Every structure is written in structure tokens, then in C-alpha cells.
Chains A and B, each alone.
Chain A
Amino acid sequence: MSEKELLKGNIAIAASALNSGCECYFGYPITPQTEIGEYLSYEMQKRNLAYVCAESEIAAINMALGAASTGAKVMTSSSSCAVSLMQEAISYACCDELPIVIVNVMRAGPGQGYIYPSQGDYNQSTKGGGNGDYQVIVLSPSSVQECVDLTSRAFYLAQKYRNPVILLADGMLGQMAEPAIIDCNKYEEIDNSSWRLDGAKNRPAREIHSLEPSQLKLNQHILNLKKKYDLIENSEVDYEEYMTDDADIIITAFGTMGRCAKEVVNHYRMQGVKMGLFRPITLYPFPLIRLRELSYRVKTFIDIEMNLGQMLKDVQLAILSNASVAFVGKPVGDWLKKEEMIEAIDNIIKEQYAGIR
């Protein structure tokens, strides 16, 4: 596929995974991401790669851990309530330093919720639902083309840092279609021969496990992990800025909401309001430093999310100036419409102008 095709987000993720060298997929069907497994079930068979429809999400992610420990490129995909089931294994994968790609196409929660789209798993993905000091790299696509590009990057970063990477898409993006191109994978291959478990022929045996009775060793391991996370925070931050150069008001939004909010920026620009958009592409590492820089010359931040204010907390943490932070959001379902966002923002601007706040 080297020409533009009208692709569903889910198919784009699946096709890009193959293009990025995914060798094993383990998953269990759940709306709104089932097309990923469906597509891979026949495409991987054709290519003689490992596709397993597991008996549960817990089984799927643990299979992924096992396969990753042999050095294979692995992926699993699921949606919100079922990604919750994977949290234990994600914590293990971080401690074991296993490169796995986890796709979460978010649906409505909490609990089982329903199949409507949502952005309610920001906290779970970036702060973790498992135990211990760990971090997962979280990438947030806002278009079908970014589903393609960030899936490739997810495989690369997972291998590069020996760490799980979550591609945090949402039901809206998974189901919608847009023209996109799947080009050749631009990322270099990472050599994993120094750690993978591929049989101890002509070398001493290796082991990968998170159990560590020695306090000293465990402390040292966690401190080493922290060093890795610091490196990731220093090198892998990515974000998009849209008309922020002279902006007095900046909208912060991620994923699909990040692209919808551009329409709102265009609306206010037409009216002469100096508005811009800041869209984190890596949710972890969060682009805190850049946001902090911007906050010294921006009067107001308006955070827009399809949840009740999860990234909002990170935005507030980033801002040390007197800039105010407002929030516009909705928990689940039909995406906030342009008109709804504009109505809410008009009110915020009016209040601030009147000095009420």
C-alpha cells in the first residue's frame, strides 16, 4: 500500500503493525477495536506469522510477555475495560523490561460502560493501573495517518527502550476512515541479541523475571528503570503546536479531540481572537517543559477532553505562571461538536473579561 487508501483507523493500526515488523499478535475481540484482530487474523496467516485469538485479555497479554522475552516483535490490542485486565502484566513487563506494543482503542467507562468512544483512559495509561514504580510510553494519534505513523514509532520505541508502549487511540478514530498512506518503515532495527531468551547455546543461561528477594538488587533495578524513564523524558517528547506563536489563549487537547479543536481555533482566529492549540503527541513523556514555556506569555489555557479532566491535571502541573486554566469536557459518546465547544469557550472568555473567574 504505497498509495493513498481510505483506511479505517483500526485497519491502519493493524496494517502498520505488519509493516513495522510485528511477528506475533495476541488478542481477544472487543468493540471498537475488533477489526485489528480481524485484519491480522488473515494477513498474519498469509505471512506465516503468529496470530493467536486468546481465551481472555489476561491470557493475551501474558502470551505477549512470553513472546517478547524471546526477542520477537509483539502486539496486543484491546479496549478500555479489557485493558484494565492487562494492568498486572503491564507492570510485570515494565519490571522485566519487555518491549510490547499495546493498542487501546478507548470506549466508554468506567466499568463495562459501552461501545461509545471516549478518552477516559488517559490516567490509566500515563499513570498506570498496575503496581510499583513504572512508566509506559504513551502515544496519542489524532488522525488515521498518525495511527499508521505512531504504530511504527511504538514498535521502535518499545525495542529501543525495552519498555511497553501504549498506542492510545479512541473509538472514534478506530472506526472512522480517512485517506492514509502506509509507507516503508523509517525506523532502524534495534539489536536485541544481548538480552533475548533464544536458547543458551554457546553462552551462559539468561533469565527474565520480576521477582527479586534481595532488597539491594531490587532497589538498584528500580533506580536503573528510573534512569531509563529520565532518558525517555529527555529524548522522546513530541507535540504539535497550531497557531501558538502569538496566542493569548491556548487550547490543550489530545488525540481525536486535538484535531477537532483546530476547527475551534480557526473559528476564533476569523473573529480576531489570538487562539492556538497545543496537542501532546506523547502523553508520556508529557511535554511539560514546552507547555511551561508557553505559560509565561499565554493568558488562558482551555483544556478540552472527552472525559472529565484527566490530562487537565498534567496541564495544571506544567503551568507555573498566573495563566488561568479552564476545562471543557464530556464523559463519553458523540464527540463534542464545534458549536458546543464554542459556546463553552465563549462563556469562559466572557467570565474572564468580566474579571469574575
Chain B
Amino acid sequence: MVKNFIISGSGGQGILSIGSILANIFMLSGKFVSYCPCYGAEMRGGAVNCEINMSDCELYSLQNSKVDFVVALNQTSFNKFISKVKKNGTIIVNSSMAKIEKTRDDIKYIFAPLTQEALKLGNIKVANSIALGILSKILGNLPLDAVKNAYKKILKDKTELITKNLEAYMLGLNYIQEGII
């Protein structure tokens, strides 16, 4: 069973970091995984996205016409990738930075004010981890050990940041009540 994801936003929002963490979580849970980043020449503020494929057997395709899940952390990426969601797929949108607007009725929308929630936690940078928590919930809770280890792999010895991100992840995990989606 193959599942694919696009994580998108602007440079500086931790799009590639959270994509890489998600890919590491899959790898650490024994899945086949591929991770393809896409960004322009600019560092901060430019459009950035990455595509992740996860499977129980060997993966061949890298880029897909449509994906099961899209995470959009700002308006531009919401506009750009809404059409890439498969029928019955899900889009998670950062409503702090994008208008709540449903233009398609064949997909599931999850709007969450990720930036505001991150600010409440005291670090605007962890909005991406809240999104990951929400995604994890939809996927039926990713194994917590793998999640912790993936954060450690990417953030290395920045223990405070790991703690803060895990806090944000747990917030995301509990953000939506079971049964809503």
C-alpha cells in the first residue's frame, strides 16, 4: 500500500525539516520511503515543498500527479496544491496564514491555526510539528518511538528544540477529536 504526501509552505517554515522527519519516521518504522524536496534559488520566503512516498514494498515512483495528503502552511501553497489532492484525500491547512475556504467537495479539509498555536507554545517555528501531529492522528498514530528518534536524527543535540517540537507534535496529535474525520 503506497501513500503519498506533499508538504508545502514558504522558506523558513521548516517544510523540508518536517518532511525529512516524516520520511525518517517511516524509515524507522520499517517502511520503504522516498523524499523529494523542491525549492527555488531563494532561501527564506520563497515557495518550497517536498513530496514523500511511503510503501510496504519497494518504491519506484517518486513524483505523482495526485497525492493522498497535502499539508499547506500558507495561502500560496494552499492555492497551488489543492488541485493535487486525490479524490477522498485530505488537506491540512494552516488557517493562521490561509483563508478558510472549501472549493472542492470531494476531499477532506482540516483547518487549524497552526501559527497561532505555535506562538502559544512560545515558538513560531514549531507550527510544522503541530501539522505533523495532526497528520499522525489521521494516519492512526505513527509509532511514538520512531517519531522521537526521527526528531533526534534531524535536530541532533538541540534537546530543548526537540522537547518543544515534541510538545507541538503532541498538541497536533490531540488537536482533532477521533471520529471527526
Contact = CB atoms under 8 A, between A and B. Distances in A.
Interface of A: 4, 6, 31, 115, 172, 175-179, 256, 259-263, 266, 334-335, 337-340
A214 to B, nearest CB: 52
B65 interface: yes
Contact of B37 (A6, A175, A263): A175
Contact of A6 (B24, B36, B59, B63): B24
A223 to B, nearest CB: 44
B33 A338 contact: no
Given A6-B20, A115-B41, A176 B36 contact: yes
A301 B27 CA distance: 36
Contacts of B153: 6
Contacts of B33: 6, 178-179
B23 A335 contact: no
B62 interface: yes
Interface string B29-69: 00011111100010000000000000000011111110000
B60 A176 contact: no
A6 B24 CA distance: 6
A334 B63 CA distance: 8
A357 to B, nearest CB: 28
A179 B62 CA distance: 14
Given A4-B27, A6-B27, A115-B41, A337 B64 contact: yes
B27 A176 contact: no
Nearest to B59: A178
Contacts of A256: 62
B42 to A, nearest CB: 12
B61 A260 contact: yes
B60 A172 contact: no
A337 B53 CA distance: 14
Contact of A172 (B23, B32, B59, B62): B62
A334 B61 CA distance: 12
A80 to B, nearest CB: 17
Contacts of B60: 259-263, 266
Interface residues of B, number: 19
B65 A176 contact: no
A157 B25 CA distance: 37
A178 B63 contact: no
Given A4-B27, A6-B35, A115-B41, A177 B20 contact: yes
Contacts of A260: 60-62
24 contacts: A4-B27, A6-B24, A6-B153, A172-B36, A176-B34, A176-B35, A176-B37, A177-B20, A177-B23, A177-B36, A178-B33, A178-B35, A179-B27, A179-B33, A260-B62, A261-B60, A262-B60, A263-B61, A266-B60, A334-B63, A335-B63, A337-B61, A337-B64, A339-B65
A292 B33 CA distance: 35
A178 B61 CA distance: 12
A175 B63 CA distance: 13
A256 B36 CA distance: 12
Max chain B Cβ within 10 angstroms of own Cβ: one of A176, A259, A340: A176
Contacts of A259: 60
B35 A338 contact: no
A23 B46 CA distance: 38
Nearest to B19: A177
A149 B137 CA distance: 38
A6 B23 contact: yes
A143 to B, nearest CB: 9
A284 B20 CA distance: 35
Interface in B41-99: 41, 59-65
A334 B36 CA distance: 11
A337 B23 CA distance: 21
Interface in B113-157: 153
Contacts of A115: 41
Contacts of A176: 34-37, 62
A115 B40 CA distance: 9
Given A177-B35, A259-B60, A337-B64, 11 more contacts: A4-B27, A6-B27, A31-B41, A177-B20, A177-B23, A177-B36, A256-B62, A260-B60, A260-B62, A334-B63, A338-B61
Contacts of A178: 33-35, 59
